[in-house]
Amino acid sequence: MKSRETLLRLKRFQVDEKRRRVSQIEMMIAEFHRMATDLDREIQSEETRAGISDPAHFAYPTYAKAALGRRDNLRQSADNLKGQLDEAKAELQEAFEDMKKVEILDDRERASERAAETARDQAVMDSIGLRTRA
Judge whether residue 9 has pLDDT over 70: yes
User: DSSP code of 57?
Assistant: S
Report d(CA 68, CA 56) in Å as an integer: 12
Task: Return the pLDDT at 116.
Answer: 86
Q: pLDDT per residue over 28-63, tens digit each?
A: 999 999 999 999 999 999 999 999 999 998 999 999
Q: pLDDT per residue over 63-121, tens digit each?
A: 999 999 999 999 999 999 999 999 999 999 999 999 999 999 888 888 888 888 888 88
Task: Return the pLDDT at 5.
Answer: 86
Judge whether residue 1 has pLDDT over 60: no
pTM tops 0.85, yes or no: no
Domain regions of the chain by residue span? 1-105
Quick one: 41 exposed, middle or buried, by C-beta within 10 A (0-12, 13-18, 19+)? exposed
Report d(CA 110, CA 104) in Å as an integer: 10
Task: Return the pLDDT at 133.
Answer: 67
List the CATH code of the domain at 1-105.
1.10.287
Nearest to 39 by CA among 76, 78, 61, 65: 65
